Structure 1
Amino acid sequence: MEKIDHKIVKVNGINMHVAEVGEGPSAILFIHGFPELWYTWRHQMLSLSSLGYRAIAPDLRGYGDTDAPPSAAEYTVFHIVGDLVGLLDQLGLDQVFVVGHDWGAVVAWYLCQFRPDRVKALVNMSVPFLPRNPMGKPVATMRHLFGDDYYVCRFQQPGEAEEEFARVDTAKLLLKFLANRNPGLMVVPKAIGFAAIADMPFTLPSWLSEEDVKYYASKFSQKGFTGGLNYYRAIDLNWELSAPWTGQQIKVPVKFIVGDLDVTYNTPGAKEYIHDGGFKRDVPLLQEVVVLKDTAHFINQERPEEVSQHIYEFIQKF
């Protein structure tokens, strides 16, 4: 880990923390999800930099050592993609390979829609492309399909989830998120709350060390969870603002990787969309879909060597 350099870069009106390793002619931009940091990519950064790539992983807006504006309206995908384009400009990179996971995958899909000229190829994990449905706002649709206690719906009210998270040790809460292997929908009734779930006994998985959990906990204890939760609170605003891109396909080469126990893969309708033609229709340059067996949501940390190899096998073609 001491090989990885850290710096603060001014982009798009904020100060962004960036981790970087390697000096190859081709660069890879890694985009993390919730509740993660640049650190989620530590294995891939070291592996791919050793193969001759320049690996770049920022803490996204609202996370870690990057600035966290207070308002959810400052966390639209236009802000986040703007941050990343600004980062590439500051680093002097015209085009990069992109690797995304969870919310980072969502941001990567939008980056490919808004600025495909900046992306050589994309390896995305966990969250498939979700084409904009012009018939209704996403949060209302989720409430209708999954109920008010669905975690995305529970995250909508500013301050509410933060208050629940504050009732439990941050390390315990993060371990609950990271080590969860239940592929069912994440539904958290208010009567139970996130704090009660986090206090349930949970075994540290073999792929996650106490030091890893401490690092995550130290950063989230300092920064809080509001920045990450604001991504969820901007979902409907993203829907409103992205109307001009309705129906637009993803036109960069793509490889998609998901675990068979991932909650996203087991969301009703997801497998059918991924495997029965819908995904390929919306992402015509989709070249490969990989489903890793007995693997849950945080795939890049749970199966680091395999994921690194899958990334390398794909991007070395270009």
Structure 2
Amino acid sequence: MEGIVHRMVEVNGINMHVAEKGDGPVVLFLHGFPDLWYSWRHQILSLSSRGYRAVAPDLRGYGDTDAPSSISSYMCFHLVGDIVALIDSLGVDQVFLVAHDWGAILGWYLCLFRPERVRVYVCLSVPFRPFLGRNPKVRTVDAFHALYGDDYYICRFQEPGKMEAELARAGTSYVMKNWELTSPWNGVGISDKIPVRFITGDLDLVYTSAGMKEYIHGGGFKKDVPCLEEVFVQKGVAHFNNQEAAEDTSNLIYDFISKF
């Protein structure tokens, strides 16, 4: 697409496919489930035309990036390690981070574990909540069952082979992060040195989930992310705002990162 370059990079023991375009400060885009680098195509073209090097990998297990066979190879630590190694390969110390959906959760982990690698963070759809409400007496998946029922996609992904069989026609695989391993960071917020802008759609099912609006607008989000500077709610937009409202989302990203 219009001069986007594709290459493979060795990172953290795997080969990662990267799409990029432009020169200048690096804007790193992390896609969600079940997307690819392609979900950022509009933003890659927009940001690269404004003086940035736009970089969008296929995350571990997706697209042309290696997909280790063991389910234990997809913990958040592996994923963060992949991104840190990718940043190193780009020859920069910090990136302007932009992420959506599961990629947004990975973005929050990167801010938590390696805040010095993130200059600013523009988060789409999923706010910082990985450690809120953690109950050591209740398994994470059991809590999802109680909240959303057996048909919730995370709950349906728990039996190895079952969901793969259902999705075989589309060739889609799954990944699931395990919160138990991140218990040492329970109650820890995001560094006050990382400016954050949050963008979501008013029709996004994440935004309309029980208690989410209260958390985002009622002070809880700001408490956990002290450098949260702005929250934008796009009218008439659902979950995939980087594609549904591509121009507006690109402009909101540029408007924020250009200040730093």
Q: TM-score, normalised by structure 1?
A: 0.78
CA, structure 1 residues 131+59, in 2 after alignment: closer, same or farther (shift >3 Å)?
closer
1:144 is displaced (CA, Å) by: 1.3
Distance 2:167 2:180 in 1: 29
> Structure 1 stretches of 5 or more lacking a match?
171-223
1:157 is displaced (CA, Å) by: 1.3
Matched, 1:42 2:44: no
Distance 1:159 1:127 in 2: 28
Deviations 1:217-265 (A, max 9, x none): xxxxxxx322xx12x2x3xx2x121111111111211000001111111
1:266 is displaced (CA, Å) by: 1.1
Q: Which stretch has the larger CA shift, 144-153 or 271-280?
A: 144-153
Give runs of aligned pairs for residues 210-229 of structure 1, distance below 5 A.
Answer: 224-226=171-173, 229=174
2:202 aligns with 260
- SS at 2:46's partner residue? helix
Code of the residue aligned with 1:54 in structure 2: it is R
RMSD (CA atoms) = 1.1
Asked if the contact 1:131/1:282 (under 8 Å) is kept, the reply is no
- SS at 2:210's partner residue? coil
1:33 is displaced (CA, Å) by: 0.5
Asked if the contact 1:255/1:286 (under 8 Å) is kept, the reply is yes
Matched, 1:240 2:180: yes
Code of the residue aligned with 1:258 in structure 2: it is T
1:138 is displaced (CA, Å) by: 2.2
1:6 aligns with 6
Give runs of aligned pairs for residues 281-300 of structure 1, distance below 5 A.
Answer: 281-300=223-242
- SS at 1:7's partner residue? strand
1:40 is displaced (CA, Å) by: 0.4
Give runs of aligned pairs for residues 156-305 of structure 1, distance below 5 A.
Answer: 156-166=158-168, 168=169, 170=170, 224-226=171-173, 229-230=174-175, 232=176, 234=177, 237=178, 239-251=179-191, 252-305=194-247
Deviations 1:111-161 (A, max 9, x none): 000000000000000111114134133211111112122121011111111
Code of the residue aligned with 1:7 in structure 2: it is R
1:142 aligns with 144
> Structure 2 stretches of 5 or more lacking a match?
none
Provide the identity percentage: 60
- SS at 1:107's partner residue? helix
Asked if the contact 1:32/1:60 (under 8 Å) is kept, the reply is yes
Greater per-residue helix proportion: 1
2:76 aligns with 77
Deviations 1:90-118 (A, max 9, x none): 12111000000000100000000000000
- SS at 2:98's partner residue? strand
Code of the residue aligned with 1:312 in structure 2: it is Y
1:312 aligns with 254
Distance 1:123 1:137 in 2: 30
Asked if the contact 2:123/2:199 (under 8 Å) is kept, the reply is yes
Give runs of aligned pairs for residues 53-92 of structure 1, distance below 5 A.
Answer: 53-92=52-91
Distance 2:96 2:139 in 1: 31
| Structure 1 runs of 4+ with >2 Å offset | none
Asked if the contact 1:258/1:292 (under 8 Å) is kept, the reply is yes
- SS at 2:203's partner residue? coil
Asked if the contact 1:131/1:247 (under 8 Å) is kept, the reply is no
1:198 aligns with none
- SS at 1:242's partner residue? helix
Asked if the contact 1:123/1:255 (under 8 Å) is kept, the reply is yes
2:23 aligns with 23
Asked if the contact 2:12/2:82 (under 8 Å) is kept, the reply is yes
Deviations 1:191-237 (A, max 9, x none): xxxxxxxxxxxxxxxxxxxxxxxxxxxxxxxxx322xx12x2x3xx2
1:192 aligns with none
